[in-house]
């Protein structure tokens, strides 16, 4: 299982995240915010989230080091 906290502050960042997720169609990834859970392969799903909040990305699949590296620009700073 892999989990990280993301911050997607605007539409441009949301679009970049979806583009990266499209590189990994085989990875079953979910983004959670409060009671909402979406597929980050969908721009409409990502835009339905409150982009002012930190979000939790989770997958039960094994992910590569490259997948983790690709997510670095979206990772929220630890509080």
The per-residue pLDDT for range 33-57, each reduced to its tens digit, is 988 999 999 999 999 998 888 999 9
Considering the domain boundaries, does residue 63 fall inside one? yes
Considering the domain boundaries, does residue 10 fall inside one? yes
Give the residue numbers spanning the domain of 28: 2-72
Considering the domain boundaries, does residue 44 fall inside one? yes
pLDDT attached to residue 51? 83
Number of domains in the chain: 1
- What span, in angstroms and rounded, lies between the C-alpha atoms of 50 and 33? 8
Considering the domain boundaries, does residue 78 fall inside one? no
Contacts of 75 (CB under 8 A, 6+ apart): 4, 5, 6, 7
What does the chain come to in residues?
79
Considering the domain boundaries, does residue 77 fall inside one? no
On the question of pLDDT at 29 being above 90, the answer is yes
CATH number for 32? 3.30.1340.10
Helix/strand/coil for 50: coil
């Amino acid at each position: 299982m892999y989990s990280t906290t993301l911050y997607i502050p605007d539409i441009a960042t949301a679009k970049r995240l979806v583009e990266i997720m499209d590189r990994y169609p085989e990875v079953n990834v979910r983004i959670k915010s409060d009671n909402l859970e979406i597929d980050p392969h969908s721009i409409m799903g990502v835009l339905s989230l409150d982009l002012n909040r930190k979000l939790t990305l989770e997958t039960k699949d094994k992910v590569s080091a490259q997948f983790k590296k690709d997510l670095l620009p979206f990772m929220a700073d630890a509080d």
